[in-house]
Structure 1
Amino acid sequence: MTSCLHVNTGVVLFAHGSRDPLWRLPIDAVAQRMAQQWPQIPVAVAFLELTQPDLPTAVEEMMKQGLSHLRIVPMFLGVGRHAREDLPEMVKHLTLAHPQVAFELLPAIGEHPAMTDLLARIAAGQAAQYIDD
């Protein structure tokens, strides 16, 4: 399968963070799955608070790879203040600090129709095709 992303694009999976170190495992699993399925797409994780790395640190690391386009994917099911206000403000500051990079802020993952469909399938016990052996 080929990627539909621009050349020199990286993906940053952005989540809230937690004091519990196990909380980040699902976000890391998404990054690992992406790296396995699309090894040509650089992927990183970043967190708002309580977990490292933060977004500016993840962006700096991605820029060291020569990337000129960063797609930030909010890994939030709901759109609260963090997704609606805090993250856009952070991206605004990153854009000002790094004008050579095109930042693309996607809607929260929970707003995607495919996620809604998958969650409904899981709740209905109809997601067996998504389970790995």
Structure 2
Amino acid sequence: MAGDSPISTPSSQRGIVFFAHGSRDPQWRLPIEAVAQQLLLQHPQARCCTAYLELTEPDLPTAAADLVGQGCTHITVLPMFLGTGRHARQDLPVLVAGLREQHPQVQFEVATAVGEDARLTALLAEMAHQYIA
């Protein structure tokens, strides 16, 4: 579901949504929000937000509308899932299709689930190593 390449859209018009499942427990969302905050600490000009599939606000349409309101014309949805399960394979494409219909002037891209990135796999293995070293 790739959109324009990062080079073709100025960074000032690019945004990212950290998309997670959601939970009734308000503390559950803290690690997801921490990732967004860390991005902003490292790159204060970045436009980012969090969104959740269910049980937690904001939902994806609300988060996307916020970024569109900030002038984003290219939005990447980054699934904060360890794998590409049913939510990433079935629910997320339906939601993104709705976003494309609602905001036809915006390019929406869905990134690979974070857990399928080799860098995260390596980091998790390194973290686990401390328990057996």
TM-score (norm 1): 0.89
Partner-residue secondary structure (3-state), 1:46: strand
Deviation string for 1:35-74 (max 9, x for gaps)?
0001121010000000000000001111110110001100
- Which portions of structure 1, spanning 4 or more consecutive aligned residues, are displaced by more than 3 angstroms? none
C-alpha displacement of 1:84: 1.0
| Aligned partner (choices 14, 19, 44) of residue 19 of structure 2 | 14
One-letter identity of the residue aligned with 2:37: Q
After superposition, residues 33-48 of structure 1 pair within 5 angstroms as 33-48=38-53
Match of 1:31 in 2: 36
C-alpha displacement of 1:99: 0.7
Match of 1:60 in 2: 65
Query: Structure 2, unaligned stretches of length 5 or more?
Result: 1-5
TM-score (norm 2): 0.89
C-alpha displacement of 1:19: 0.2
Identify which of structures 1 and 2 has the higher relative contact order when contacts are C-alpha pairs closer than 8 Å and 6+ apart.
2
Aligned-residue CA RMSD (Å): 1.3
Identity percentage of aligned residues:
53
One-letter identity of the residue aligned with 1:54: D
| Aligned partner (choices 89, 114, 117) of residue 112 of structure 1 | 117
Q: CA separation in 2, counterparts of 1:39 and 1:102?
A: 22
Deviation string for 1:76-117 (max 9, x for gaps)?
002210011100111011111111000010010001010110
